[in-house]
Chain A
């Protein structure tokens, strides 16, 4: 169980977001899922999240740009990028823009939870 962990998931695949939210909640993680950058920003402004998991390719939006906007609202919020294929250039751009880690699709849920905890611990230091 990962009691107390609060995560914001952002991906334009509706079924992916809702299923991940459900699977994380089964593991004791409080998760909120949204599909767009604007919805994510609303959540970041109003919610008290420990970590964000963000797809790099959203409908009509660049995930890295969404991350920059999230960081403007809460610079201390760790962001993990979610991607299908992470090239060297793309990962460098993501890290440069403030991502703490990335995870590849298809997702290994145990890896994701591990990475979320690592990200939170790194930001606490």
Chain B
């Protein structure tokens, strides 16, 4: 295996690992959704059995339980639909997409990971469409790596925010954190981010450290050069 093949193999493994982590996280959350729905429907069965034994069912109780079931079904549906969009992002290495939706897709899929880290993620979605021609999977990978770097910085409850700044030829994705800039790990994750942004998206990434936190700036061409 020559150096090029080794690099390619490494890239494949890294991408697969990212894909696997997202899938594992979503399957875990989906299992929670099924579990809650199972218990709520079990409660309805319990109430029916009690009614058979003479204890009247309160209509407002039934209403509350069915509303909860509907809410969790919607939660599951949102997860599945976003998982599906994520899975299809590997279909084409170059696609036309709205960056706002891509970021929202990752926000939903990483929600539990962010919560488990006791972090918060604020995403201010621009009102206007932000069309891009790029590798949609690589954009997701870069966003995820950014989030990991942000969550990994030593703050007990990191407050993260994502902002998109569209330009004529380039678009900036900014991830800000309230964690001290010197706490950021510029190791493997940072190298992975640089490689994803440069090699797959033809862009660049920069780290800006400040007194009140740090910001990762990903700059990618709105249309990939070889498109």
Contact = CB atoms under 8 A, between A and B. Distances in A.
Interface of A: 13, 15-16, 19-20, 22-23, 26, 57-60, 84-85, 105-107, 109
Nearest to A16: B36
Given A60-B115, A84-B28, A85-B28, A19 B50 contact: no
Given A106-B31, A109-B42, A60 B116 contact: yes
A84 B32 contact: yes
A16 B37 CA distance: 8
Contact of B36 (A19, A57, A84): A19
Interface in B90-132: 115-118
Interface string B33-77: 011101110110010001000000000000000001000100000
Contacts of A85: 27-28, 31
Q: Which of B46, B50, B117 has the most CB of A within 10 A?
A: B46
Interface residues on B, range: 20 to 34
A105 B43 contact: no
Given A20-B39, A85-B27, A109-B39, 13 more contacts: A13-B32, A15-B39, A16-B35, A16-B39, A19-B40, A23-B39, A26-B46, A26-B50, A57-B28, A57-B116, A58-B116, A60-B117, A60-B157
A107 to B, nearest CB: 6
16 contacts: A15-B39, A15-B72, A16-B35, A26-B46, A57-B28, A58-B116, A59-B116, A60-B118, A84-B27, A84-B31, A84-B35, A105-B35, A106-B31, A106-B35, A106-B38, A107-B39
Contact of A23 (B28, B46, B118): B46
Contacts of A105: 31-32, 34-35
Q: Which of A23, A58, A109 has the most CB of B within 10 A?
A: A23
Given A13-B36, A16-B36, A60-B117, A22 B31 contact: no
Given A15-B72, A84-B28, A59 B115 contact: yes
Given A15-B72, A26-B46, A26-B50, A107 B38 contact: yes
A23 B31 contact: no
A57 B39 CA distance: 19
A107 B116 CA distance: 22
A78 B116 CA distance: 25
A19 B41 CA distance: 10
A109 B38 CA distance: 10
A85 B42 CA distance: 21
